[in-house]
Amino acid sequence: MRQSWRVLVGSLVACLTAIASLATAQTYQSRIEHPIVHYKMSASLYPGTKTVKGHYVLTWWNHTDDAIRDLYFHLYLNAFKNLDSTFMRRDPIAREHDSLTDWLTIPGKEKWGWEQIDRIQIVNGSDLTPLITYVHPDDNNADDRTVVRIQLPQPIPPKGSIELSVDFTSKLPRVFARTGYDGDYYLVSQWFPKIGVYEGPGERGLTTGGWNCHQFHRYTEFYADYGSYDVDLTLPSDYIVGATGFGRSEKKDPDGTATYNFYQQDVHDFAWTASPGFKKVTRTFDWGKEVRGDEVARWSEILSLPASEIALRNVSVTLLLQPYHRNLEGRYFRAVFNGLKYYGLRFGAYPYDTLTVVDPPHNSYTSGMEYPTLFVAGSTFWPGKHEFQPEGVTIHEFGHQFWYGLVGNNEFEEPWLDEGFVTYSTAKVLETAYGSPCSYLRVMGIPIQAYGWLQVPLPKFPFVGVESIPVGPYFSCVKLPEATSGRSLYLQHATDDDLVRNGWEYRSRLSYVVNSYMRPGLNLDTLDHYLGPAVMARVMRSYQQEWRYRHPTTRDFIDVVNSVSGRDMDWFFQQFFYNSNLVDYAVASIWNEPLYGHTGIYDEGGKKAYYSRKDAVEEYQQDRQKQYRSTVTVRRLGGASAPVDIDVRFDNGQVAHEQWDGKYRWTKFSYAGQHKVVSAVVDRSRKLLLDSDYTNNSRTVKADSVFAVKWYIRWIFWIENLFFAAGFFS
């Protein structure tokens, strides 16, 4: 009896263990019919020298009909090798990079990073190492060592493949941009020799095939083919590790190290992080608990899809937290769960089993960066309740799992296709999950953020470092609509560049930022207004689903827009994506004039009848039902054009709704009747978020000064206080 009880308990425990292991087992099934790459890799971290030594066998498939005679690889870490790399070159853009300036002051040679292929050979074939040459396809910078070309002795036939065995060494840089180490914290990304993308004829609009393998530029990001990564990482056993993919095994080595195996299919990159200081917390996103039935029904209706296609997946979320940020654990998880939920409902379920979120150390310059199934968020230790920190960056970087992770655009050539989409999508998710962010801290009644946008120089001292104290909840909140939060910065750089452009060819860093983030975000919201939210939701979902695990271009997105909406929206993209014209519609004037009777000479019954002006005026004044002719002039002041609606309000409260194609420089609307026009508004529903002057979109006949008096009174008070403070110094 006693024995059978033990057996029963043992069986139960075994069952529970099996169920538990099933719950965390890998369930992801590859969705890609023909993956391009497969890396079978092992790598060891040597903390003493900040070096990673590794070996991989790369299987690369030629998916095109071209015979391929050479191979291209990225050696991204060579960007940090010296100041002559394209990445580090001291051009005007580089000088805007504060973290580099700080970095250069660090003494010693340990901070520099580099990467080399120690040996590369075809498996069971010839050694290719002597055939390596450095190339620089973007800028002819002969000192740049971030791209190599290897001439093959035999071409890879169409639809053929090649297996390469590669030994490499990567010296990690002291981090100041995305990758490297800071103390014993490692964020190891773009760290191994990574094959470029061979694009065949017809792909991404190309007529001839070729390698797409750009140098590493300061602000551009990445581009790679989908495939699978099977990676063994060996590092000191007290380090806590997070990486792309699913942790399949972990074993302690006799030399005090541990080896972890991570595996993931259908991704285009592999990054990892390690630190003995991480606090590791894992929770499961249980979609059955997080998403209500009515939410599924609502999205099913909006997207015209069966509810089964709205279903999400459970995801194991691991947070690698700095121990001094333990107060943020709940906020991080809530943000990630909101991302999984709302992105999933809109664009389709996050397909992978795992997601790792890294909370980086202070000033590590790694925050806000995305890699497949792993991203780096970031926050100060004491964020205000409504300041969207860490929520903003967490949801933004999570969004990259969809835009760039799943839909793999070329970030070098069209950065807007992921950053712009994420800006647009993050605003939607934040608005749904949290509402508008608040700005509390104000100078003379103006939110400090707004003050910052204007770039009016505020002295930074004396309170450097204390500005992030969340005193906000003690004051009233000024709502800052997320959708238009980038408008001010956009306006400052509106005419610098066209939006669709190579990432390294924007005029300045801020132009890159504006044209990759703010402007496309505003444009997509404007498109949303023109198509309607439901159609736009269907467009975005179709684009996401159609282009998952592929490399779309702007043209591909336009085609999806046209096809799903059933409208030709090419004009929209021509106006707002392929040029840098400003858009500005204005109500230029409102003119009400009395409609006097006849004045002058008229032919009446074969005679010339004369009516004097004086008589006409007198007659008009005696008339009880006076008639007016009102004219509203609307102008297009900017270079861009779009159809707009115009509302004209009369003194009896009636409103006339007008339409204008917005193409010519101006148009007029005239009305004759007993009522005068009192005001007019162009683009009343504010479809055009890029309009450079909302204030002139409306005009009233009567001037109003009360608002100015109110602000004058407020300003007097705050200036008095300023002078009171000046009195302190006198």
Partner 1 sequence: MSRYGTLKLGQENNLEIESARLSARAAIRQGFRLVRRAPSAVWVLFVANMLLAVVAGLPIYHGMLQFTSHSLMSRNLLTGYSVDWLADFAFNNPGSLEHYAQFIVVMGLLALPVNAILAGGVLARFQRLQERFRLRTFFRDCGRHTWRMLWLMVMALICYWAVFRFVNAGLGGLVDQTTLYWMNDRSVFAAHLGVDLLVILLLVFVNMVIEFAQIRIVYDGSGFLEAFLAALGFSIGRLPRAIVVYAIPSLCGLALLGIYRLVTPWHIIHAALGDSAGPSYEAAFVLGILFVGQQLVMFGRYYFRVATWASEWSYFASTRGPASPTETSGKRAAA
Task: Tell the smallest beta-carbon distance from residue 703 to partner 1 (Å).
Answer: 4
Closer of 548 and 699 to partner 1 (Cβ): 699
Torsion of CA 345, 411, 484, 680, to 10 degrees: -100
Concatenating the DSSP letter of every residue in 255-287 gives TSEEEEEEEEEEES---EEEETTPEEEEEEE-H
Closer of 308 and 730 to partner 1 (Cβ): 730
Task: Tell the smallest beta-carbon distance from residue 675 to partner 1 (Å).
Answer: 17
Closer of 93 and 478 to partner 1 (Cβ): 478
Tokens of 640: 């861009």
Q: Give the separation between CA 269 and CA 566, rounded to whole angstroms.
A: 36
Task: Tell the smallest beta-carbon distance from residue 381 to partner 1 (Å).
Answer: 5
Tokens of 493: 């750089």
Task: Tell the smallest beta-carbon distance from residue 109 to partner 1 (Å).
Answer: 17
Task: Tell the smallest beta-carbon distance from residue 35 to partner 1 (Å).
Answer: 38
Closer of 592 and 700 to partner 1 (Cβ): 700
Residues 6+ apart with CB under 8 A from 392: 426, 430, 437
Task: Tell the smallest beta-carbon distance from residue 698 to partner 1 (Å).
Answer: 4
Task: Tell the smallest beta-carbon distance from residue 58 to partner 1 (Å).
Answer: 35
Closer of 475 and 602 to partner 1 (Cβ): 475
Closer of 487 and 541 to partner 1 (Cβ): 487
Task: Tell the smallest beta-carbon distance from residue 325 to partner 1 (Å).
Answer: 8
Closer of 256 and 727 to partner 1 (Cβ): 727
CB 338 within 8 A of CB 13: no
Closer of 247 and 361 to partner 1 (Cβ): 361
Closer of 565 and 698 to partner 1 (Cβ): 698
| Total Cβ atoms within 10 A of residue 108 | 7
Closer of 206 and 716 to partner 1 (Cβ): 716
CB 666 within 8 A of CB 633: yes
Task: Tell the smallest beta-carbon distance from residue 574 to partner 1 (Å).
Answer: 24
**What count of residues does the chain have?**
730
Concatenating the DSSP letter of every residue in 227-238 gives EEEEEEEEEETT
Q: Please give the span between the terminal C-alpha atoms of the chain, in angstroms, as a whole number.
A: 95
Q: Give the separation between CA 653 and CA 444, rounded to whole angstroms.
A: 37
Task: Tell the smallest beta-carbon distance from residue 82 to partner 1 (Å).
Answer: 22
Task: Tell the smallest beta-carbon distance from residue 339 to partner 1 (Å).
Answer: 24
Closer of 296 and 586 to partner 1 (Cβ): 586
CB 326 within 8 A of CB 241: no
Task: Tell the smallest beta-carbon distance from residue 707 to partner 1 (Å).
Answer: 4
Q: Which of 231, 205, 211 is nearest to 223 (CA)?
A: 211
Torsion of CA 291, 293, 298, 301, to 10 degrees: 120
CB 643 within 8 A of CB 667: no
Radius of gyration, CA atoms only, the chain: 31
CB 193 within 8 A of CB 146: no
Tokens of 415: 């950065």
Closer of 530 and 715 to partner 1 (Cβ): 715
Helix, strand, coil percentages, rounded to 5, for the chain: 30, 30, 40
Beta strands 185-188 and 446-447, pairing class: unpaired
Bridge partner residues of 700 (DSSP): 679
- The residue type of 572 is F
Q: Would you say the C-alpha torsion 459, 462, 464, 468 has a positive or negative sign?
A: negative
- Distance set, CA 476 to CA 439, 441, 442, 447, 479 (Å): 9, 9, 10, 11, 10
Closer of 1 and 706 to partner 1 (Cβ): 706
588, containing H or E segment: strand 585-594
Tokens of 510: 């801020």
Q: Give the separation between CA 526 and CA 482, rounded to whole angstroms.
A: 14
Q: Give the separation between CA 118 and CA 140, rounded to whole angstroms.
A: 25
Burial (CB < 10 A; 0-12, 13-18, 19+), residue 708, is exposed
Closer of 57 and 477 to partner 1 (Cβ): 477
Closer of 310 and 634 to partner 1 (Cβ): 634
Task: Tell the smallest beta-carbon distance from residue 361 to partner 1 (Å).
Answer: 4
Task: Tell the smallest beta-carbon distance from residue 666 to partner 1 (Å).
Answer: 18
Strand arrangement of the beta sheet that strand 272-275 belongs to: 180-182, 185-188, 272-275, 240-243
Please, what is the angle between helix 391-399 and helix 416-434, to 10°?
A: 130
Task: Tell the smallest beta-carbon distance from residue 386 to partner 1 (Å).
Answer: 15
Task: Tell the smallest beta-carbon distance from residue 697 to partner 1 (Å).
Answer: 8
Q: Give the separation between CA 664 and CA 548, rounded to whole angstroms.
A: 41
Closer of 141 and 696 to partner 1 (Cβ): 696
Q: Give the separation between CA 683 and CA 686, rounded to whole angstroms.
A: 5
Q: Which of 26, 24, 5, 27 is nearest to 16 (CA)?
A: 24
